[in-house]
Amino acid sequence: MDITGKTALVTGANRGLGRHLAAELRDRGARVYAASRDPQAVDLAGVTPIALDITNPASVAAAARAATRVAILVNNAGSPPGASLLTGDLAAIRLEMDTHFFGTLAVTRAFTPQLAAQGDSAVLNILSALSWLSIPRSGAYCAAKSAEWSLTNALRIELAPQGTRVTGLHVGYMDTDMIRHLDVAKSDPALIAKLAIDGIEAGDAEIIADETSRRVLAGLSTGVLGLYPQVA
Ligand SMILES: NC(=O)c1ccc[n+]([C@@H]2O[C@H](COP(=O)([O-])OP(=O)(O)OC[C@H]3O[C@@H](n4cnc5c(N)ncnc54)[C@H](OP(=O)(O)O)[C@@H]3O)[C@@H](O)[C@H]2O)c1
C-alpha cells in the first residue's frame, strides 16, 4: 500500500505506541487523525486531533461522522493489564473486554463504510504475545487480547471482499506507561511503530514484532504442556 496521501486514524494516539504510530504515518505522507479520549492531550504537530473513547458508542459514532476518507484504521487503544480472572474485580475484567474486544470491534464496524469507499484500505490491530499466552496475574488482559486476535482473523475474512486488508501486530513488552512498573527488558515503541507501518506498506497479514512474540508463536505447536510446563 502506498501510504502517501492516504487518510489514517489511530486510536489512543495521545501517548505510548499510538503516538509513535501517528507520527510514523504522518512522516510517510498520510493525513492523520490522532484519536484520543482527550483530544487536547494530543501534542503531535501535523496531525488532526479527534475525540474518541472506543468504549462509548456515542463517541465512536461521532468520530466516524467527524472523520472523512479514512483508508487506514489503526486499533491501538488499550487498557492496562492487572486483573486476575480468579481474584480480580469483575468491573476491571469487564473493562479489558470492553476496550480490547468490544471497543476495537465497535470502531472497526463504524469505519467499515469509509474503508470500503477508499477501496485500497487497511486495518491494523495492535495485539500482543499475550494473545497466545496467558499469565495468571493478567488473565483478563490475556483473554481480551486473545479475543481481539480471534476478532482480527474473523474480520480479515469478512473485510477482504471490499478491498480492506487486516493486519495483526504481535509484540511483547514495550517501553510505555502501560508497563512502566515492570522491571523487564522492553522494546522501543518507536521501532515497533516503524515495523508496523512497514508491514502495512508491504500488505503483511501478520507482524511478529519481537523475539518474545516469535518464541510464543513457535510454542503454540508444543501444545498446552509446552506453553504451561508448570501444570505438567
Ligand atoms: N506496552 C506493552 O508492553 C504492550 C505489549 C503488547 C501490546 N500492547 C498493546 O499496545 C497498545 C498500546 O499500548 P501502550 O503500551 O501504548 O499503552 P499506554 O501507553 O498505556 O497507552 C494506552 C493508550 O490507549 C488509550 N486508551 C485506553 N482506553 C481507551 C478508550 N476506552 N478509548 C480510547 N483510548 C483509550 C489511552 O488513552 P488515555 O491517555 O486517555 O488513557 C492511551 O492513549 C495496546 O493495545 C496494548 O494492549 C502493549
Instruction: Tell me the pLDDT tens digit for each residue of 30-78.
Output: 999 999 999 999 999 999 999 999 999 999 999 999 999 999 999 999 9
Quick one: cell of 75? 486499533
Pocket test for ligand 1, best of 176, 179, 183 (most atoms within 8 A of CB): 176
The mean pLDDT value of the chain amounts to 97
Ligand 1: residue whose CA is nearest its atom 43: 12
Q: Does the CB atom of residue 207 touch ligand 1 within 6 A?
A: no
Which CA distances in Å does 200 have to 79, 195, 208?
Answer: 24, 9, 13
For 76-218, list the strands marked E by DSSP. Answer: 121-126, 164-170, 206-208
Q: Does the CB atom of residue 80 touch ligand 1 within 6 A?
A: yes
pLDDT beneath 50, residues of the chain = none
Q: Does the CB atom of residue 49 touch ligand 1 within 6 A?
A: no
**pLDDT for residue 119:** 85
Catalytic residue among 33, 141, 173, 228: 141
Strand partners, 169: 126, 207
Q: Give per-residue pLDDT as tens, 200-217.
A: 999 999 999 999 999 999
**pLDDT for residue 232:** 86
Strand partners, 126: 169
Q: Distance between CA 37 and CA 59 in Å, rounded?
A: 9
108 and 158 Cβ atoms separated by less than 8 Å: no
The answer to whether 141 is a known catalytic residue is yes
The DSSP output letter for 174 is B
**How many whole angstroms from 178 Cα to the centroid of ligand 1?**
7
